[in-house]
Amino acid sequence: MIWDLDLLILLLVVSCALAAITVKDLLSATVIFGVYSFLMCLLWAEMGAVDVAFTEATVGAGVSTVLFIAAILHTSRRSKD
Amino acid sequence: MKLLQERTEKQKFGESLIIQTAVRMMVPFIQLFGLYVIVHGHYSPGGGFQGGVILGASFVLLALAFDLRTSVRYMSERVNNTLGNVGVLIYTGVAVLCALFGGLFLDYSALDAIIPLGPIAWRSFGIFLVEVGVGLAVMSIMVSLFWDLGSGGEMDEGL
């Protein structure tokens, strides 16, 4: 574990999470959420939990992004609140 | 060049020759990698769940780059449902077989009574059988989740 690399990735994760809940465009929020998942995957792999990182990369960044986009295409793209 | 222009004029909105060719070349390797992850799951990172998601993602990629009918042509809905149910059956079947032959539920060393390989070899081989079952079930669920979500349950053109 390299703690400065951890801190850098953690800061990026927190900023991605804040961006994903503040942005109005739902498609952009989904893409930012995919970036969040990949950074989370990097963090898991860096901490030595390779199995969790693998799951995060396949499910979090791969399939759930596609499912979110499929759900957005059936609703409106802009969020109202 | 003329042929390429005519083909470009004919294609529908959202279809791209580059993406379709790339996906057609990538899908076999993605599926091979998914099988590798499932088979090597019990002594390296990965396993049934992750390999199943990778296998399912290859069909999702086909449905995204072409349309939903293309992915249904490669794996029909009936085959998909059968594979998912067979996966769950393998998982619970191995577990119940262990219980029937005198061990606990999912205690693979009890399967030594069927084929005598030794309890240690059976512990390794039993987790492999369970991983295959989990992989099949997860692949089927991921593909049918995308099919139903992408087409509203109608299985037509899709996204």
- Is residue B137 classed as helix, strand or coil in its secondary structure? helix
The answer to whether the beta carbons of residues A39 and A12 sit under 8 Å apart is yes
Mean pLDDT of B126-132: 91
**Tens-place pLDDT, residues B61-85:** 998 888 888 888 888 889 999 999 9
Q: Cβ of B53 and A59 within 8 Å?
A: yes
In this prediction, residue A36 has a pLDDT band, given cuts at 50, 70 and 90, of: very high
Q: Cβ of B53 and A63 within 8 Å?
A: yes
- B56 token code pair: 């399912």
A25: phi then psi, degrees, rounded to nearest 5: -75, 120
In this prediction, residue B1 has a pLDDT band, given cuts at 50, 70 and 90, of: low
Q: Cβ of B149 and A67 within 8 Å?
A: yes
In DSSP notation, B65-111 reads HS-HHHHHHHS-HHHHHHHHHHHHHHHHHHHHHHHHTTS-TT-GGGG
The answer to whether the beta carbons of residues B59 and B74 sit under 8 Å apart is yes
**pLDDT surpasses 70 at B147:** yes
**Domains of chain B, residue spans:** 11-151
Q: Touching check for A51 and chain B: CB below 8 Å?
A: yes
- Is residue B74 classed as helix, strand or coil in its secondary structure? helix
What chain B residue is nearest to A73 in terms of C-alpha separation?
Answer: B159
In sequence order, the β-bridge partners of residue A25 are A78
How far is residue B69's CA from residue B46's CA, in Å, rounded to a whole number? 31
Candidates B47, B49, B146; nearest CB to A66: B146
**pLDDT surpasses 90 at A13:** yes
How far is residue A49's CA from residue B18's CA, in Å, rounded to a whole number? 37
Q: Cβ of A70 and B150 within 8 Å?
A: yes
CA distance B114 to chain A (A): 32
CA proximity to B99, closest of B114, B89, B110: B110
Q: Cβ of B150 and A50 within 8 Å?
A: no
Residues from chain A that touch B152, judged by Cβ atoms under 8 A, are 74
In this prediction, residue A5 has a pLDDT band, given cuts at 50, 70 and 90, of: very high
In this prediction, residue B11 has a pLDDT band, given cuts at 50, 70 and 90, of: low
What's the distance, Cα to Cα, between the start and end of chain A in Å?
A: 41
Cα angle B140, B31, B79 (rounded to 5 degrees) comes to 35
How far is residue B131's CA from residue A50's CA, in Å, rounded to a whole number? 18
**Domains of chain A, residue spans:** 3-72
**Tens-place pLDDT, residues A48-76:** 899 999 999 999 888 999 999 888 888 87
User: So what's the ipTM on this one?
Assistant: 0.84
- Which of B56-71 are b and which e, b meaning 16 or more Cβ less than 10 Å from the residue's Cβ? bbbbbbbbbbbbbeeb
Give the global pTM.
0.86
Q: Cβ of B50 and A58 within 8 Å?
A: yes
- Interface size between A and B, measured as CB pairs under 8 A: 42
CA distance B91 to chain A (A): 20
How far is residue B43's CA from residue A12's CA, in Å, rounded to a whole number? 32
Cα B28 from chain centroid (whole Å): 12
